[in-house]
Amino acid sequence: MSRKQTILLALTAATIVIGLVAVVHDPKQAARIPAQTGGPGGVTPSAAIQPTPTLSPPIQSNPPEHPTMVAERANVSAVPAKPVRPISNNGGPAQAKPPLQDPEARLALSFVGVDPMAEQYWMAAINDPDLPAEERKDLIEDLNEDGLSDPKHPGPEDLPLIVSRLRLIETLAPEAMDPVNAGAFAEAYRDLSNLLAGQPTQ
């Protein structure tokens, strides 16, 4: 063996020794060696990295309302609705009439001038001081309506009844119990006179 060959062998041996020493002292290299020789065919596959699933928040079709909105809606629903008042023809609130205290007198009114018994009951009612003045007033003034076939345009069959009521008012009006009845008699007499003349009532 020549000197040149001896030197090459020495260098090769030194290189192998240096490589082994580097592997022994390098833990990363030592850790990689089993991973490369443990599996079939000399290679051990590394475990697959599973991505961490991300959970998205559920989609809400109706997102929750703000507490202030909920409170305001509760306050609005708690306010009671104002009662609706009927409106009269003159634009103000209509005044509902109290219930009749003598509804039988109202029924008898339709037969005044025809039935003597009904007429007597009606006369007692309009002279009853315990009956409200407004109710007595209506019982007298409506002589031009109740009992007629058509209060606006009475027919020939209504003329005897109109005349009979005019004569009755001429008898009762001078003895009216109070100004309320006196005024009602005057208005009823005027309206009945207009109907008898073929004129509309006021």
Per-residue pLDDT of the chain (202 residues), as tens digits, is 566 566 667 667 666 766 665 544 554 544 444 444 444 444 444 444 454 444 444 445 454 555 555 455 545 444 444 444 444 455 555 567 778 889 999 999 999 999 999 999 999 999 999 999 999 999 999 999 999 988 888 888 999 999 999 999 999 999 999 999 999 999 999 999 999 888 766 6
Give yes or no: residues 25 and 108 share one domain.
Answer: no
d(CA 103, CA 105): 5
Work out the widest C-alpha separation in the chain, in whole angstroms: 175
Q: Is 110 in contact with 146 (CB distance < 8 Å)?
A: yes
Domain encompassing residue 185: 103-196
Give yes or no: residues 25 and 107 share one domain.
Answer: no
d(CA 89, CA 185): 26
In-domain check, residue 166: yes
Q: How many domains does the chain have?
A: 2
In-domain check, residue 127: yes
State the pLDDT at residue 199: 76
Q: Which helix (H) or strand (E) holds 53?
A: none
| Strand, helix or coil for residue 82 | coil
Give yes or no: residues 107 and 183 share one domain.
Answer: yes
In-domain check, residue 79: no
CA angle (54, 59, 64) in 5-degree steps:
125
d(CA 190, CA 61): 75
* 132: Cβ contacts below 8 Å, ≥ 6 apart: 98, 101
State the pLDDT at residue 91: 52
State the pLDDT at residue 197: 85
In-domain check, residue 153: yes
In-domain check, residue 84: no
Q: Is 185 in contact with 169 (CB distance < 8 Å)?
A: yes
Token pair recorded at residue 117: 């018994």
State the pLDDT at residue 155: 85
In-domain check, residue 121: yes
CA angle (96, 137, 106) in 5-degree steps:
75
In-domain check, residue 125: yes
Long-range interactions of 191-194: CB distance < 8 A, separation 24+: 191/141, 191/144, 192/143, 192/144, 192/162, 192/165, 192/166, 193/166
State the pLDDT at residue 160: 93
Half-sphere exposure of 186 (CA within 13 A, CB side): 8
Place of tokens 């009762």: 172
In-domain check, residue 134: yes
State the pLDDT at residue 115: 93
